């Protein structure tokens, strides 16, 4: 049986010198004994995996709201795909696979119902209270809102994992660890590949739409479709090839950047002025073009926009109703309002809802009109 000390020794012997070692973790806000058989980052990963917030990701939107079919990505399947990419690249680069996985599993915990549309609505509603951002909310969940332990709030994750969830508020902190940088890159990689795939599957995008997109042109040159019409098998083959191509580029470009930087420790990575997990310059341009294409042709497609409008009105109604009548809130939320103020407590409550629960709550508050039968 391997002990934690054995696992830490294995990391020290096998990982690259610039990887983040669990034995050198920066600790936890609340001191507690570490596991006898798991590293500190394994404990972080397991704690995130067992949260209520993680389970709710299954019923939170990625792109398509209230999708009537089971095949589209959800926030949970997206998270798992990010974790798979991060682990694969971490293994190749000699980084700490477990830390990368822990950060990947936690990176989207703060997303509200209805995807980025829900985030925009909550941010506008909370403008005078500090706004709303899903990355900040993820940290709030794991440091305060998850109530699972008697001796501390939240999950008491290591500062290394928490730093990885701190994607945008990095003033004065310098670049994060290579494992955290990797999750950030894997996130962009995963949603680029699977949003293209879901767009084609849904019919909102077609091969004709994509014909002028440089990434698509190069992808077809790498794997020409087997028939003039893009079949299901062709689409799956192209998606698989795109993932492999992006992962290969990310791995090779990051390895070159790390070597050129001369960093020889995790501390040197955090002191380095630039991020070292990166794509090649041509691929960065392809991803920029593709992101702009998806924004204009998929995320702003008229069918998606109708769903976005529906979700926006729904969340605005819920927010206003709970502010006007706090007695409708569960006791735990009312108790939190005593500490954080009513608007933030309501925002936390709504942000934690799944798409389905938010829809059911709205239907209970605003039932559909009863059909009237007129005499004669």
Six token digits for residue 166 = 């701190």
Please write the tens of the pLDDT for every residue from 153-197: 999 999 999 999 986 555 556 689 999 999 999 999 999 999 999
- As a whole number, mean pLDDT of residues 27-44 equals 97
Phi-psi region of 94 (alpha: psi -120 to 50; beta: other; left: phi over 0): left
CATH code, domain carrying 304: 1.10.3210.10
Q: Return d(Cα 244, Cα 250) in angstroms, integer.
A: 10
Residue 279 counted as domain residue: yes
69 lies in a domain? yes
Query: Based on the structure, what is the number of domains in the chain?
Result: 1
* pLDDT on residue 375: 56
Measure the CA–CA gap between 309 and 31, rounded to whole angstroms. Answer: 46
Residue 282 belongs to some domain of the structure? yes
Q: Tell me what percent of the residues of the chain surpass a pLDDT of 70.
A: 93
370 domain-assigned: no
Place of tokens 């420790």: 265
Q: 233 near 201, Cβ under 8 Å?
A: no
pLDDT at 170: 52
Q: Is 168 exposed, middle or buried (0-12, 13-18, 19+ CB in 10 A)?
A: exposed
Nearest to 24 by CA among 8, 38, 7: 8
Can you list the alpha helix ranges (DSSP code H) found in the chain? 4-14, 40-49, 52-56, 75-93, 97-106, 115-125, 134-140, 159-164, 178-202, 207-210, 214-222, 232-261, 266-271, 281-294, 302-324, 331-340, 342-351, 355-365
- Residue 376: inside a domain, yes or no? no
Segment 125-130 shows an average pLDDT of 97
What does each C-alpha distance from 23 to 84, 142, 264, 352 come to in angstroms?
24, 22, 17, 34
How crowded is the C-beta side of 271, counted as CA atoms within 13 Å?
8
- Determine the pLDDT at residue 112: 96
The position carrying tokens 């809802």 is 353
User: How many CB atoms are closer than 10 A to CB 212?
Assistant: 10
Q: What is the pLDDT of residues 304-343, one digit of tens each?
A: 888 889 999 999 999 999 999 999 999 999 999 999 999 9
371 found inside a domain: no
Residue 375 lies in a domain: no
pLDDT band at 376 (very low <50, low <70, confident <90, very high): very low
- Has residue 184 been placed in a domain? yes
Residue-range definition of the domain harbouring residue 72: 4-365
Rg of the chain's alpha carbons, rounded to an integer?
Answer: 23
- Say if residue 97's pLDDT is above 70: yes
């Amino acid at each position: 049986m391997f002990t934690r000390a054995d696992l830490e020794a294995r990391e020290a012997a096998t990982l690259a010198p610039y990887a983040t070692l669990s034995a050198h973790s920066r600790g936890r806000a609340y001191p507690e004994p570490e596991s006898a058989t798991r590293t500190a980052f394994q404990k972080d990963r397991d704690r995130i995996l067992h949260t209520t917030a993680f389970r709710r990701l299954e019923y939170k939107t990625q792109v398509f709201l209230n999708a009537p079919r089971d095949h589209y990505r959800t926030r949970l399947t997206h998270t798992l795909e990010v974790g798979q990419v991060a682990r694969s690249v971490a293994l190749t680069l000699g980084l700490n696979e477990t830390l990368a996985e822990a950060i990947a599993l936690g990176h989207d915990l703060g997303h509200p119902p209805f995807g980025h549309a829900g985030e925009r609505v909550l941010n506008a509603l909370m403008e005078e209270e500090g706004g709303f951002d899903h990355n900040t909310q993820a940290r709030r969940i794991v440091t305060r809102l998850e109530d699972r332990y008697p001796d501390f709030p939240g999950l008491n994750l290591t500062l290394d994992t928490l730093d990885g969830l701190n994607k945008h508020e990095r003033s004065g902190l310098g670049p994060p660890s290579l494992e955290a940088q990797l999750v950030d890159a894997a996130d962009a990689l995963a949603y680029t590949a699977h949003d293209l795939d879901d767009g084609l599957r849904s019919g909102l995008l077609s091969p004709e739409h994509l014909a002028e997109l440089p990434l698509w042109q190069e992808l077809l040159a790498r794997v020409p479709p087997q028939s003039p019409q893009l079949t299901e098998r062709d689409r799956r083959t192209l998606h698989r090839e795109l993932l492999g191509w992006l992962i290969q580029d990310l791995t090779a470009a990051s390895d070159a950047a790390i070597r050129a930087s001369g960093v020889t420790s995790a501390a040197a990575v955090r002191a380095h002025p630039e991020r070292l997990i990166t794509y090649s310059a041509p691929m960065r341009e392809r991803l920029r073009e593709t992101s702009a294409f998806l924004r204009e042709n998929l995320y702003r497609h008229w069918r998606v926009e109708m769903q976005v409008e529906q979700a926006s009105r729904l969340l605005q109604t819920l927010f206003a109703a709970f502010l006007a009548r706090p007695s409708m809130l569960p006791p735990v939320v009312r108790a939190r309002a005593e500490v954080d103020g009513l608007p933030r407590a309501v925002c936390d409550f709504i942000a934690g809802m799944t798409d389905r629960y938010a829809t059911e709550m709205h239907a209970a508050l605003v039932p559909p009109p009863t059909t009237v039968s007129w005499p004669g």
